[in-house]
Amino acid sequence: MLPVVTARLTPPPIPRSRSAPSLPRGRGLKRQRHLASCQRMKESWSAFDTFEPHFRPLVVIELAKNTKEETKEWFTQRIVDKKKNGGAQLLVKPLVKEDGGKIDGNQNLYLVGASHLRLLLGAETVGLVKECNDNSMRTFTYSSRNTFKDFAEDNHDFLTMAECQYIIKHELENLRAKDERMIPGYPQAKLYPGKSIMRRLLTSGILLQIFPLHDTEELKKLRYTWYGQVKISYQPLDEIRCYFGETIALYFGFLEYFTFALVPMALIGIPYYVFAWEDYDKYVMFASFNLLWSTVILEVWKRCCAIMTYRWGTLLMKRQFEEPRPGFHGVLGINPVTGKEEPVYASIKRRIRIYLVSLPFVCLCLYFSLYVMMIYFELETWALDFHEENESSYSNLLLFVPSIIYAIVIEMMNRVYRYAAEFLTSWENHRLESSHQNHLILKVLVFNFLNCFASLFYIAFVLFDMKLLRQSLATLLITSQILNQFVEALLPYWLQKRHNTKVKKRVYSVKVDTDLSLFEQVNLEKEMGTYLGTFDDYLELFLQFGYVSLFSCVYPLAAVFAVLNNITEMYSDALKMCRVFKRPFSQPTANIGVWQLAFETMSVISVVTNCALIGLSPQVNALFPDSKTDLILIVVLVEHILLALKFVMAFVIPDKPRDIQIKLARLEFESLEALKQQQMKLAAESLKEETHGEKKKN
Amino acid sequence: MLPVVTARLTPPPIPRSRSAPSLPRGRGLKRQRHLASCQRMKESWSAFDTFEPHFRPLVVIELAKNTKEETKEWFTQRIVDKKKNGGAQLLVKPLVKEDGGKIDGNQNLYLVGASHLRLLLGAETVGLVKECNDNSMRTFTYSSRNTFKDFAEDNHDFLTMAECQYIIKHELENLRAKDERMIPGYPQAKLYPGKSIMRRLLTSGILLQIFPLHDTEELKKLRYTWYGQVKISYQPLDEIRCYFGETIALYFGFLEYFTFALVPMALIGIPYYVFAWEDYDKYVMFASFNLLWSTVILEVWKRCCAIMTYRWGTLLMKRQFEEPRPGFHGVLGINPVTGKEEPVYASIKRRIRIYLVSLPFVCLCLYFSLYVMMIYFELETWALDFHEENESSYSNLLLFVPSIIYAIVIEMMNRVYRYAAEFLTSWENHRLESSHQNHLILKVLVFNFLNCFASLFYIAFVLFDMKLLRQSLATLLITSQILNQFVEALLPYWLQKRHNTKVKKRVYSVKVDTDLSLFEQVNLEKEMGTYLGTFDDYLELFLQFGYVSLFSCVYPLAAVFAVLNNITEMYSDALKMCRVFKRPFSQPTANIGVWQLAFETMSVISVVTNCALIGLSPQVNALFPDSKTDLILIVVLVEHILLALKFVMAFVIPDKPRDIQIKLARLEFESLEALKQQQMKLAAESLKEETHGEKKKN
């Protein structure tokens, strides 16, 4: 009955001409910088077009070298076309050398930007949340722009560059086919109404890549505050967020938090190593502390995370009103929530795919992985037997063969599985990017968990060899940490550096970084590797958490190594982000998503393993010389008490600090009151109309 | 910065005079019934006063016999006073005999009602959610009244009587002192600004009781459909909800659901009894089924509950914007969420009280209860020994003494503890009624759980006497069920019936129920017992669930008894609600609250107990003649797998059905859009003002 409000991108009420921009009352120091665009604001919406005196390149689009002119023209036309014609209403410029000449003859690099006004309207479309003058966080709307902090018509820093790039990416991704049946010039690249054009261009190989440009000046500043100084300090999370977006900033926030949280464990773990404590009571104490501590840190992280993401505005961003992810396909229908037209896909179909295909497949893979592990252990015993029987340098070498084979097989399985998981998750056709990510993460996580820890579990609970367990644990932990740091950051950095020099030489005479022209910068950046998201970084932390907590009572020193690793990890990850990869698109996020659940599950499992390990330890066994039964019963009892305690603690500690709760409740209250107001207005209008109609009748 | 909307109870836009009530388009059959009140609607708000041609008594207030005239006058004046003067703007009439004469000289019974308009405005204040014409559920506002289903200016059935009574109760409870320092005529009954007047009158003994009137006609209809017919059918939950409110309807809904859910368990349990199955594998199967089944039914209940409460509109009612509960006290301050003036109380103080006083007290009581139980078992053994040594009829009697003493002590402890728990929870000073109830329930629950099951646990896991366990379980279950039904419903019903006849005789000549005058009805109802809430009913179900699930593998027949009991329970509870007690005030609720958690916790505990019982059973022990250790390890493994399965199931089954989720998301989306609209309007206004201001300057 009530018409759904679709105010987005319809012409906002523009005030009649005023003599001067009057709204920024003393705020916005850079007011005078872009007076030209400010003048434009006074013109009506219809005057808004692709003409822009200050074109600021934000995003680079690279098309294939041999793309047909017809296609290029159509695509750029669709990008600059008016919103009401189904375009994205952005600005596009081909990349040219400073002297105006093209290099390779065929133009295939385009710079995408947008007018300030367009970006503000885009911020409303994506639902950015910004701080208001009264320090509350509110969803940005163009019409209420003057209530926001630091907003001024001429303050082009109101939206950070990362936000602008996110908006442009969002607009490009949501550029959908209207009545085109195919991409012009490519009859095999079919289109249908509602299909994302970008997606089709990418899948048919016409669009090679799309990436946001670095801001060399800002990046230099960030690098300096982040890892340029030698002094020990917190990471500049807010600056990282401004430059790289919330997902990456949250990863670094979590890395920092997690490192600090591990310090107490590490400190308590050191004397165990130094004094070679082997008393069971000390082990029990360490393990108990560890288990409760891990619950506390995970609960407290939720609070810290809520504080951070509230400040960044992403806590309030509504996930369910997100536009569907670009890869999402389905027949065009009406979204039951928003009432807007978009592709729809029956959730029952998705569930069938998840439960009848993905789940059995994952289980099969897990079984296969276990099977491979069993073969490895058999090979190992066989090699050991062989070595003992006929000892020689040849047999000595043979001892390593099973491990090497196993490592290679595991690596291969990991890659194949990862590919399969990505394919399956795409095929499940999730509507939202976040739920797609969560399903992918869950799949990969379970498999990696098994691959990493199954052998340790086998050693601990089947072979009962604590010495071997400690040894394997230490080896796995330390080698994986060193390897990771090397493969992940240092090696790419070195390769990148070499490559950069080569490219620079090729493109231009060698210069210092800062003096690179835009042309050079784009050509350098387009060759850089693509950052594939925080997945692998979190996975590394997750496995580390497993090494630290699962068998903590066997190897208390693990926490020390973890802390040391994380400190260098912070620097190498920062280096990686700033120097190795293309700038990634910013991605708003309110929490670390499924990782929270993963870490919590790990901490529950670690209660079980630690209790079992303590029960198995010879010191504890010596206390119950007669009755193993009593021992087991006591261990089980302790385990249940610890688990109960964990759940009570998780229940009692609120997920959000009280002041954030109040702020959220206030926003909800206001939005409900606003709804009431709107209903009132509608009712009043309908009353008026009816009265009017009756009068006419009479 | 944005002014908080405080549109409540400010004059709504009244349409200018119209010739005829034009709004109900074809709806509302009873349109002509109250034309007089419809005429009144056309008058302006200021004309709205205590004069009402059709006074419909809804709520009865009984003051103490010797209440001073001054106090009566002040109180009734405050009730009828205009909202803007701090009154409740309701209608009050002293109860008089039909012939106009008073009975006991001193008038102390008042009838409270309200005009139709006042009730509609009150519905907005309490935030009632009603169905709209487009079948969506929305918060009712007076101004948008015409968008609601079945609304017509002259349809006085738009609000159910229960809703009207709830509104009046809410308004009376929120009648707060302005500048009065005390209740007039009672200098010892201190008041301070913001103190609930009703609460002070109740605590100082001036106000004896306040209760809603029965609607004899409706009640008769309800009784007929509920338990008047012999045919087997579902309970008329929607009718129950209309008459008694959501809390009670939800209890009956849960009772019905729970009974149906127990049927499969009962059916599977019967052959165990009939064929006297004692094989361990059958027991294991029964227990496993039981455990997974109990998880499923609890998860599915959440979905059923969501469907029901969405239909009733309470799923959407916002708890956090609730006004503070009447008993809540504190210094007058600003609510940070709504921005309205109301008593505030630091939550840190409350938490200190909970964790430093209530929690230790509860623990102490639990310890004491266990201690008493131990004494009981000692007494029992002592009595048994004494009986064996010198067997006589005297010693035979002595055998029962410990049980009798224990039963009496338990009962006394229960009562004292209940009183203490109520006192402590009041003292914790919770802001919301719901959180007060939850804390009270949690306290009482833990204690009752221990009292009921501690002895069974002791028998099972300390004495290892399965035969005694089965016997105690059967005795406890059956006697408690029979006793409960008798004490709870049949006895009061009989007493009430006797009493009614007496009162009727005293007041008037004996007549049939239907012909009672209002005067008689009020005098009858005021003597009826007060229904103290669903607490004891849920507690009974909870303990029953405990008997059924905790030791289900020892006594599969428990489910059968539970089903039989619940069927009669439904009828006896219905009888109790309709004939024994005063009509209770309706209480909106979205779910069964802390009971859901309680039942879920019970089902987790039952996994542990059942696994332990199976491990203890001689049949299973016979399978592992050599190694108790293996047995225990296998039992623990199975237990962990079952627990993991439970959690995965609870995680995978969504709490709300998909269509409800979509409806909720749509409402949230709309309310956010509305907020944006409002911000737009405000921005536009501020722009206008500024332009105006500038023009003036120029």
Q: Is B393 on the interface with A (CB under 8 A)?
A: no
- Segment of B159-173, B403-417, B502-516 carrying the highest mean pLDDT: B159-173
Quick one: which of B56, B9, B11, B17 has its CA closest to B38? B17
Chain-chain contact of B144 with A682 (C-beta, under 8 angstroms):
yes
Which backbone phi and psi does A653 adopt, to 5 degrees? -75, 115
Chain-chain contact of A22 with B141 (C-beta, under 8 angstroms):
no
B662: which chain A residues are within 8 Å (Cβ-Cβ)? 336-337
| pLDDT for the residue numbered A18 | 38
User: Cα separation of A43 and A15, whole Å?
Assistant: 10
The pLDDT tens digits of the residues spanning B369-414 come to 999 999 988 988 888 888 888 877 787 788 778 878 887 888 888 8
- Segment of A389-393, B28-32, B575-579 carrying the highest mean pLDDT: B575-579
Does residue B12 register a pLDDT over 70? Answer: no
Q: What is the mean pLDDT of residues A195-219?
A: 87
Least confident interval from A24-33, A534-543, A638-647, B381-390: A24-33
Chain-chain contact of B143 with A1 (C-beta, under 8 angstroms):
no
A633: which chain B residues are within 8 Å (Cβ-Cβ)? 632
Say which residue, A11 or B370, is predicted with more confidence.
B370
B100 — pLDDT class (breaks 50, 70, 90)? low
Q: What is the largest CA-CA distance in chain B?
A: 114
| pLDDT for the residue numbered B684 | 67
Chain B CA closest to residue A665: B337
Per-residue HEC secondary structure of A250-275 comes to HHHHHHHHHHHHHHHHHHHHHHHHHC
Least confident interval from A76-85, A583-592, B620-629, B683-692: B683-692
Q: Is B16 on the interface with A (CB under 8 A)?
A: yes
B30 burial level (CB within 10 Å; 0-12, 13-18, 19+): exposed
| pLDDT for the residue numbered B364 | 94
Chain-chain contact of B7 with A671 (C-beta, under 8 angstroms):
no
Calculate how close chain B gets to A400, using CA atoms only, in Å: 35
Quote the pTM value.
0.81
A668: which chain B residues are within 8 Å (Cβ-Cβ)? 318, 320
Q: Is A658 on the interface with B (CB under 8 A)?
A: yes
Say which residue, A459 or B35, is predicted with more confidence.
A459
* Three-class secondary structure of residue B25 per DSSP: coil
**C-alpha distances in angstroms, B432 versus B95, B122, B327, B596?**
33, 19, 9, 19
Does residue B23 register a pLDDT over 60? Answer: no
Q: Is B674 on the interface with A (CB under 8 A)?
A: yes
User: Cα separation of B160 and A293, whole Å?
Assistant: 53
Q: What is the mean pLDDT of residues A407-421?
A: 87
Quick one: which of A215, A185, A247 has its CA closest to A586? A247
Give how far the C-alpha of residue B414 lies from the chain's centroid of Cα atoms, to the nearest Å.
21
Calculate how close chain B gets to A504, using CA atoms only, in Å: 49
Does residue B477 register a pLDDT over 80? Answer: yes
A128 — pLDDT class (breaks 50, 70, 90)? confident
| pLDDT for the residue numbered A370 | 92
Does residue B645 register a pLDDT over 50? Answer: yes
Of A658, A676, A686, the CB nearest to B347: A658
Say which residue, B9 or A231, is predicted with more confidence.
A231
Are the C-beta atoms of B330 and B429 separated by less than 8 Å?
A: yes
Determine the Cα angle at B408 with ends B407 and B414, to 5°.
Answer: 90
For testing the chain A interface, which of B22, B140, B678, B698 should be mutated: the one with the most A CBs within 10 Å?
B678
Calculate how close chain A gets to B87, using CA atoms only, in Å: 24
Pairing mode, if any, of strands B91-94 and B109-113? antiparallel
Q: Is B670 on the interface with A (CB under 8 A)?
A: yes
Least confident interval from A441-455, B187-201, B542-556: B187-201
Does residue A30 register a pLDDT over 50? Answer: no
Q: Is B677 on the interface with A (CB under 8 A)?
A: yes
Does residue A303 register a pLDDT over 90? Answer: yes
Least confident interval from A230-239, B49-58, B213-222: B49-58
Least confident interval from A83-92, A326-335, B70-79, B209-218: A326-335
Chain B CA closest to residue A658: B347
A669: which chain B residues are within 8 Å (Cβ-Cβ)? 318, 320-321, 337-338
Of B18, B665, B684, the CB nearest to A143: B684
Helices then strands (H, E): number in chain A?
A: 23, 10
Chain-chain contact of B629 with A633 (C-beta, under 8 angstroms):
no
B226-262 burial, b for 16+ CB within 10 Å, e for fewer? bbeeeeeeebbbebbbbbbbbbbbbbbbbbbbbbebb
Quick one: which of A139, A170, A146, A143 has its CA closest to A58? A170
| pLDDT for the residue numbered A11 | 38
Are the C-beta atoms of A291 and A553 separated by less than 8 Å?
A: no
Chain B CA closest to residue A139: B676
Chain-chain contact of A139 with B23 (C-beta, under 8 angstroms):
no
Least confident interval from A56-65, A175-184, B487-496: B487-496
Question: Which residues, numbered 122 to 181 in chain A, qualify as contacts with chain B under a Cβ-Cβ cut-off of 8 Å?
Answer: 132-134, 136, 138-139, 141, 143-147
Chain A CA closest to residue B124: A676
Least confident interval from A96-110, B391-405, B455-469: A96-110
A679: which chain B residues are within 8 Å (Cβ-Cβ)? 138, 141, 143-144, 147
Quick one: which of B563, B550, B556 has its CA closest to B599? B550
B443 — pLDDT class (breaks 50, 70, 90)? very high
Give the number of other CB atoms < 10 A from CB of residue A581: 17
Chain-chain contact of A680 with B134 (C-beta, under 8 angstroms):
no
Question: Which residues, numbered 315 to 354 in chain A, qualify as contacts with chain B under a Cβ-Cβ cut-off of 8 Å?
Answer: 318, 320-321, 336-339, 347
| pLDDT for the residue numbered B466 | 79
Calculate how close chain B gets to A505, using CA atoms only, in Å: 53
Average pLDDT, chain B: 80
Of B5, B15, B662, the CB nearest to A673: B5
A672: which chain B residues are within 8 Å (Cβ-Cβ)? 139, 318, 321, 671
The pair of structure tokens assigned to B205 is 């003994």
Average pLDDT, chain A: 80
User: Cα separation of A243 and A581, whole Å?
Assistant: 14
- The amino acid sitting at B369 is S
| pLDDT for the residue numbered A34 | 38
Q: What is the mean pLDDT of residues B648-664?
A: 88
Does residue A38 register a pLDDT over 70? Answer: no
Residue carrying structure tokens 């006290």: B329
Chain A CA closest to residue B692: A18
- ipTM > 0.90? no
Does residue B451 register a pLDDT over 50? Answer: yes
Question: Which residues, numbered 72 to 111 in chain A, qualify as contacts with chain B under a Cβ-Cβ cut-off of 8 Å?
Answer: none
| pLDDT for the residue numbered B505 | 65
Does residue B254 register a pLDDT over 90? Answer: yes
Quick one: which of B372, B357, B513 has its CA closest to B451? B372
Of A1, A147, A687, the CB nearest to B134: A1
B331 burial level (CB within 10 Å; 0-12, 13-18, 19+): exposed
A12-37 burial, b for 16+ CB within 10 Å, e for fewer? beeeeeeeebbbbeeebeebeebeeb
Helices then strands (H, E): number in chain B?
A: 23, 10
Long-range contact list for B573-577, CB < 8 A, 24+ apart? B573/B252, B573/B255, B573/B488, B573/B489, B573/B537, B574/B223, B574/B226, B574/B227, B574/B235, B574/B252, B575/B227, B575/B489, B575/B490, B575/B493, B576/B488, B576/B489, B576/B492, B576/B493, B576/B531, B577/B244, B577/B248, B577/B531
Are the C-beta atoms of B210 and B60 separated by less than 8 Å?
A: yes
Does residue A534 register a pLDDT over 60? Answer: yes
Chain-chain contact of A321 with B665 (C-beta, under 8 angstroms):
yes
User: Cα separation of B375 and B410, whole Å?
Assistant: 12
| pLDDT for the residue numbered A619 | 76
Per-residue HEC secondary structure of B471-534 comes to HHHHHHHHHHHHHHHHHHHHHHHHHHHHHHHHHHHHHCCCCCHHHCCHHHHHHHHCCCECCCCC
A323 — pLDDT class (breaks 50, 70, 90)? low
| pLDDT for the residue numbered B693 | 59
A12: which chain B residues are within 8 Å (Cβ-Cβ)? 680
Q: What is the mean pLDDT of residues B346-370?
A: 92
Residue B198's contacts (CB-CB under 8 Å, 6 or more residues apart) are B172, B173, B175, B207, B210, B326
Angle at which helices A280-312 and A658-697 cross, to 10°: 40
Give the number of other CB atoms < 10 A from CB of residue A239: 16
A139 — pLDDT class (breaks 50, 70, 90)? confident
Does residue B587 register a pLDDT over 80? Answer: yes
| pLDDT for the residue numbered A168 | 93
Calculate how close chain A gets to B604, using CA atoms only, in Å: 10
A99 — pLDDT class (breaks 50, 70, 90)? low
Q: How many CB pairs under 8 A join A and B?
A: 200
A356 — pLDDT class (breaks 50, 70, 90)? very high
Of B23, B320, B658, the CB nearest to A347: B658
Quick one: which of A158, A171, A162 has its CA closest to A34? A158
